[in-house]
Structure 1
């Protein structure tokens, strides 16, 4: 059975210090994928180096920095399809093309026996090019038949780099400049931290081609409606990023403010689950006038449990993930703030730790709606059976987790907080903004990890 996970980070550089900037960019996008990392570059043809683990584990920095190519693309992986193997780590390349891809092609299984959707993309584009088609034509042809979410960067043997964002704009992609070098990144925060300037968001449906001489061409396929993933704002993206001009940090602050206003709890302290929940907790504390305490301490070695490839690995990560400041929680009524609850593994253990440390009451407030449906646009919950909220109400969930109460935002409250209506809410509503309707049973059988 095929397996799924996801969220990835991509980076590309055209110009001086290309491979160095791409390498450093990937490190700044590490939160988007921790399974593998890789870089493709042009030097007497396309060369690709990649490895398993974090960027600094997967790639030898000393060797990387000796590469003098001016054309490179890179990838950190958290796989949507396939397995955690070096063979399936990205970028995926052949002698003509290399692909670094963030998203999920929901219908890729209909086109052949591919182990990953990235393999399908590479094969599809390569066939068109082999038949003499121009690379932009090949990309447009792919966009015509592909259904799903994709932001990707493409490198060819002619030293051209393309940046592509799907017509719905599910996944973010940004263009910038560092010195005289053109860069593309999954998030603008990485560009800014490298001392660069953000030029623009790649628009939904846009294809940007950078030629070897630096000349930039832009094309676009029709795009009727945008559906950027709400989880980019809630959880995945760095708080210092902006997506399509909307601040992730301020969105999370407003999520907390609306959560406090519409879902109050009588409590002594507000406690965030680190890291992405902190701005939500700040917003909740400000609005409710309940003081915030950093009573959960995340261990330095901990990784994001949600993006671990298997449930066993997620649970092993939880064992060493949090410490409790007992003096802050003993005898206290706590509002425990989390950005989202998918499977419930993390929350159940945190509540147990807080109880053992003397917490009097624990009221969980969640800065997103209940996740009831699988995602086939690039996030790791492909099966309803994995989702704690798929067939339970708030009272049932509170009982399972060991909380005194739990309340979530509604979809409308979430949209109000983020400040845009053009969001993908499929995992909350079961309404998938894809080209076609798919049977959930079929999709679960194809994508279940």
Structure 2
């Protein structure tokens, strides 16, 4: 059973839509590695193909037929068995859904998953537009989604708080809706704009309509800028790369250390390390080499799989760190497993000192909006101060950004920082101890 996802989604209305969708999913692979799927419209039927693993493992592009309309999904699950049944898009023959996010209150409506809840709500409506309106009234959580119907309709929707990114673009003779604009640009398309919070994009027969269904106080996920999004993406007019560089600059200004070399944990930490190096004047070196076969350990579905990935993920350039005081820059520390192994590797390769600086605040609270740290006991910073964390991971020191410093660096006030601050911007009130028990039962 699955209750939340942080994934990559795409919807295409254009000639060769299935192949555009396939290539888009490869460019959104960083958002999900567990499964991939495509649904396309052919002869008034919705046809779904999906499989487990990376896009090129899960989908055989030779089996895709040309179609004008299709949607796709790459999955990063936070709970579940990792089975093909859980892979998306989800289709009932009339509509198909690709979903990125979490419906926190889905279980109150007698459904087993949040995607099943969306399917139920929309299927019971008189038409797709009315279904989206009803979904907004009932659902609480963080989500973006694309939906297609056997009538040839394509819909994109971003929740009223705008937690998750979604972008509208032009491609070839038609339109594309995707999680990030970088995928659209790399395919030769033209991003038109971000889908606004609470906005429904409706495309039928090449005609596009938009409607603001509902608008709430915006609360965009700060982890998109810190980790999830590609560095070349621009989200709500804020370049992700620039935000990450500023995270590093402020980290150096307020949490500096005497050292000989700065090394980033690839990949999302590289711009943060660039900013730290520029501001601190400590040389930046590529001391950790990420192997090309390694997946993103943070978004692996189980702890055993995360540990296995960590073992094969990094090599160390001994000549860069031997006999030196090293600053390791990472975007975040959640459980501490990855960093503990990295610190040991660096010390085993001759580092004189190892200091860790983190381009985000301490992750102290569970996330109920789609990030993979639902249980309090898994969070190293929940019950440890910086000195205790340093001792646990074997570092000489550890320092993090504050929430205020992170907000300043990213450059927008309307961020969700619940995992750092414990302030949850959800629509309804919850007993979060009860929510955690629900998450624990399905983990």
Q: Tell me the TM-score range normalised by the shorter chain.
A: over 0.9
Aligned to 1:20: 19
For residue 159 of structure 1, what is the aligned residue in structure 2? Answer: 152
Q: Sort the Cα spacing of 1:387 and 1:5 in 2 relative to 1 into closer, same or farther, 3 A.
A: farther
The equivalent residue for 2:31 is: 32
Query: Does 2:84 correspond to 1:86?
Result: yes
Distance 1:206 1:42 in 2: 24
Q: State the Cα distance separating 1:106 from its structure 2 match.
A: 0.5
Shift of 1:183: 0.3
Q: Which residue of 1 aligns with 2:251?
A: 259
Aligned residue runs from structure 1 range 362-377, under 5 A? 362-377=354-369
Matched, 1:122 2:119: yes
| Comparing 136-145 and 162-171, the one that deviates more | 136-145
CA-to-aligned-CA distance 1:159-192 (integer Å, 9 cap, x gap):
0000000000000000001121200110000000
Contact (CA 8 Å) 2:3, 2:102: kept in 1 or not?
no
Separation in 2 of the partners of 1:261 and 1:101? 39
* CA displacement at 1:303 relative to structure 2: 0.6
Deviation at 1:5, TM superposition (A): 5.8
* Equivalent-residue separation in structure 2 for 1:424 and 1:246 (angstroms): 15
Aligned-partner Cα distance in 2 for 1:229–1:73 = 24
Secondary structure, aligned partner of 1:320: helix
Give deviations 1:392-428, integer Å, cap 9, x for gaps.
Answer: 1111101000010000000110011001000000000
Q: Distance in 1 between matches of 2:54 and 2:124?
A: 33
Q: How far off is 1:389 after superposition?
A: 0.5
Query: Once the two structures are superposed, what CA deviation does each residue of 1:284-340 show, in whole Å capped at 9, x if it has no partner?
Result: 000000000100011111111111110011011111111111111011001110000
Structure 2 partner of 1:108: 106
3-state secondary structure, aligned to 1:396: helix
1:165–1:173 Cα contact (<8 Å) kept: yes
SS of 1:388's partner is: coil
Q: What does residue 325 of structure 2 align with?
A: 333
Q: Give the match for residue 10 of structure 1.
A: 9
Query: Once the 2 structures are TM-superposed, how far is the Cα of residue 82 of structure 1 from its aligned partner?
Result: 3.5
**Which one is further off, 76-85 or 367-376?**
76-85
- 1: CA distance, partners of 2:399 / 2:268: 18
1:307 alignment partner in structure 2? 299
After TM superposition, give the deviation of residue 210 of structure 1 in Å. Answer: 0.1
- What are the residue-to-residue correspondences of 1:19-418 with 2, within 5 Å? 19-44=18-43, 45-64=45-64, 67-114=65-112, 116-128=113-125, 133-211=126-204, 213-418=205-410
Instruction: Decide whether the 8 Å contact of 1:80 with 1:103 is kept in 2.
Output: no
Summarize the Cα distance change of 1:375–1:121 in structure 2 as closer, same or farther, 3 Å threshold: same
Stretches of structure 1 lacking an aligned partner (at least 5 in a row): none
Structure 2: how far apart are the matches of 1:372 and 1:391?
8
For 2:414 and 2:78, how far apart are their aligned partners in 1? Answer: 23
1:432 to 415, 424, 427: 424
Are the counterparts in 2 of residues 5 and 381 from structure 1 also a CA contact under 8 Å?
no
In 2: Cα distance, 1:439 partner to 1:400 partner:
31
Aligned-partner Cα distance in 1 for 2:82–2:118: 19
Q: 1:221 Cα deviation (Å)?
A: 2.2
After alignment, is 219-228 or 355-364 more displaced?
A: 219-228
| Native 8 Å contact 1:125 1:138 kept in 2 | yes
Instruction: State the Cα distance separating 1:138 from its structure 2 match.
Output: 1.1
Which runs of structure 1 show a deviation greater than 6 angstroms over 4 or more consecutive aligned residues? none
Q: Is the 8 A contact 1:108 1:117 kept in 2?
A: yes
CA shift at 1:447, angstroms? 1.7
| TM-score, structure 2 as length reference | 0.98
Counterpart-to-counterpart distance in 2, 1:147 and 1:170: 11
Listed as ranges, the gaps of 5+ residues in structure 2 are none
Q: How many residues align?
A: 440
Which region of structure 1 is more displaced relative to structure 2, 379-388 or 116-125? 116-125
Deviation at 1:80, TM superposition (A): 4.1
RMSD: 1.0
